[in-house]
Structure 1
Amino acid sequence: MEQKPGYIYILTNPSFPDYVKIGYADDVKSRLKQLNRSESTPFAFRCYATYKVNHRLSDLKLHTIIDKLDPTLRSIDNVDGKKRIREFYAMSAEDAYALLEAIAQINGLEENLKLWDMTKDEIRQKNLSEEINSEKKDRLSNFRFSYCNLKEGDVISSLENFEIKATIIDDNHITYNGMTYTLSGLAKEITNAKTIAGPRHFTYEGKILSEIREKIEKEKC
C-alpha cells in the first residue's frame, strides 16, 4: 500500500512565545483549524514551517531526537497523578527550524522544507501579544522618573489627552489638580482601566516615558 505523505509542522502561538509545538499532520491547514477552534488560548496558532515526510511516525522520531539532545525542553506536567507529555518545546521557532533543516540536509531533502509567510491577521496578533507582554512587564517593574532623567518640577502630559498635564514632585509621584498620584494611578483615572502601565500613557516633550527609559537603558549597554 502506497504511503500518503504528510508533514512535520512547527507551530507558534503568541499566547506562549517561549514555546513551539512540533507534531505531524496529513493536512496542516486542517490541523490548524482544529487547534484554533478551541477557546482555551487568547491567540491562534500559526504555522511557522513544515517538513514533508513519507512516514506517519516521523514526528515521534523527531521528538525522540529532541528529548535525547535536551530532555528539559519538552513540556511535561502531572495532573491528578497522571503524567502528561505534550508536543510543546521550550525553544524558539528558529531553533526548531534549524533542527528540521539539518535533518533535511542529511537526507538531501531540503526541497521538502517550507517556511510559511505570516498573514496580516497573524502579524496583528503577534504585535498585540508583544504589546500586552510589554505592558505587563512595565506594570511589574519598578519605575522611577530618574530612569528617564526627569526630576522634580518637570511637567508630563497624558498620551490620551495632551491638555492633561501633571508635575513631578518626587521620583515616584506626580501632582494633578492638587492631588498626588503615581503614574499608573492617574492613568487609571484618566482611562478608567483596571490595570495599566503608567509609563506607557504619559509623555515628556512629546516622547512616551516607557520609550525614553528603554532608549536610555539601551545606551547604557
Structure 2
Amino acid sequence: MSDHNDQRPEPQRTPLEESRFEPYEVNRPIPIFVLAVAVALIAWGVYTLWSDSGPSTETAASEDAPTVGTTGDRDVADGQGSLMSVGASLFESNCVTCHQANGSGISGAVPPLAGSRYVTGPAEAPVQILLHGISGVIAVAGNQYDGRMPRFGETLSDRQIAAVVSYIRQQWGHDAGAVTPAFVSEQRGRFAADRSPWNGGAELEAVTGIAARLTRTAATEASQ
C-alpha cells in the first residue's frame, strides 16, 4: 500500500470553533506526602543551624581530657601540677604495659625506669629515647637488656614528651628536674625526625655523656 493511501485528512475546525477555544491548565495539587517531606527538611535545617550556633559540650569535655594526641598545650602551660597530671596520663597510656606502674620494667626483657641513670641523669637521654626509640644492648641497674623501644617523636608533641619525661624524673623516689617543651624542641632539632633508633647504650653515650658501662665480654656477647 502506498504512502499516499496512508495519509488521512486532519479534522478541520470552523472559524466559529477556533474563536471559542481557550487554553487552560488542569489543577494538580501537590501530594500531601511531598509537602510533609518538605516541611520535615525545613525543620531539620532550622534545628541544625540552631544547634551549630551554640558551644558543643562534647567538644569541651574532650579538650579537658588528657588523652594521647589531644593533651598538651593548655594543660601543660597551666603549671607544674598539670605537667605531672598530663605526664601521668600519657605514661599510663603508652608506657605502663612495658615499664609497669611502679617503674620496675619486665625482668630480662624491659629495663626498669626506677633508679635508672638514663632517667635521672642528663635530660637529653630520656628525651632522645622517646623521640627516636632505642634498639640494642643497654645496661640498667646492673643488668643488660637487648630489646627495642618504639619512637614517639611522630605521635607526641614537644609538650607531651616534656610531660612524660618530667613525670618519670619525679616518680619512684626520683628527684630530677622537670623538662620544658622548649628543651624538647631543641633536642628534636638535633637529629633528623626519621633517623634510626638509638643503637643501645653505646650510641647514647656519645650523645648524652652517660657511660654505657658495658664490659668487653658483655659487648662481645651482645654482638654475636
Q: Could you state the TM-score of these two structures normalised by the residue count of structure 2? A: 0.18
**Structure with the higher strand share, 1 or 2:** 1
The higher radius of gyration belongs to: 2
Higher helix share: 2
| Larger RCO, structure (CA 8 Å, separation 6 or more) | 2
When normalised by structure 1's length, the TM-score is 0.19
